[in-house]
Structure 1
Amino acid sequence: MADRSDAATLGRSQWTDQPLWRVGLVTALVAAAASVIVYAVARAAGVPMELTEVFEDEYERMPMINMAFGALLEGGVAGTALAVACRRWARRPRSSFVALTLIGLIASFVLPVISDGTTATKVVLSISHIVVAIIIVPVLALALPRRAR
């Protein structure tokens, strides 16, 4: 028979008791590795992964490290900061976080779509955004309470 303390812990996950910065760091590192794998698979499949620099006319291959930095900074740091803000100010931190990150994910497709890369490069960049979000968002969401305390 479950008592009141068991009922209180049923809605919690192993991530709930962790500091958000730690959850964000771990998920950002995993997402960065996954993003690099997406890049490597794309290159192995023949995707050029070439873009022009700002105000340049020549195409250059995007460095693999850019994929990792993008996941770490935009996914990890921005996602963690948003999770902290939702935990602090939202009445329903978890659902607010998920809704805002979904909006952010949709907005993140603007850069790949308007880039000057090939269609294949744009698709790979968009896929990498999805992969990073699939890794970071659910774990950070689970680290947030359903309702503000």
Structure 2
Amino acid sequence: MTATANTTHATASTVGAVIRTGVAATAAASAATMAVAAVGHLAGISLELAGAPIPVTGFGVLTAVFSLIGVVIAALLARFARRPRRTFVRTTVVLTVLSLVPDVIADAGTATKALLMLTHLVAAAIVIPAVARRLAV
């Protein structure tokens, strides 16, 4: 007696779980980055970049956009990669580090730059592990 695995079903449910978890993590990360920005602003850190104010909601919107791009990457990796979790974590860590570069060179004060970078790291710390747990090793 032999058993065969239904890999199509397993892949479909994995992709669905990745997307559901990714959307939930995106919502949590968006709320968290807005909270970090609001607390930073209340603490006296400027939310101006090149003289233009960044609204607190802007942190949430951009977090959502880029986190959802990460969820799409994860879904594609779940479907096509040999080691989706490892590939996703490596890719998103590199993308997170690259996302800090514009903050470092931004026309803003040191505290503002640090706050911007902190929001990137907060979002990554929420989304990457949550999504990675849903990917096959």
Q: Normalising to structure 1: TM-score of the pair? A: 0.79
Q: For 2:40, which of 39, 42, 62 is the aligned residue?
A: 42
Percent identical across equivalent pairs? 34
1:113 aligns with 2:111: no
Deviation at 1:71, TM superposition (A): 1.0
Q: Is the 8 A contact 1:50 1:121 kept in 2?
A: yes
The structure that is helix-richer by fraction is: 2
Q: Normalising to structure 2: TM-score of the pair? A: 0.86
1:65 aligns with 2:57: yes
Which residue does 1:123 correspond to in 2? 114
* Residue type of the alignment partner of 1:71: T
Deviation at 1:111, TM superposition (A): 1.2
Deviation per residue, 1:60-92 (Å, 9 max, x gap)? 2211111001110012x1110110121122111
Consecutive unaligned residues in structure 1, runs of 5 or more:
1-15, 53-58
Which residue does 1:102 correspond to in 2? 93
How many residues align? The count is 125
* Residue type of the alignment partner of 2:38: A
RMSD between aligned residues:
1.6
Aligned-partner SS, 2:85: helix
1:141 aligns with 2:129: no
Which of structure 1's runs of 4+ aligned residues deviate more than 4 A? none
Q: Is the 8 A contact 2:15 2:75 kept in 1?
A: no
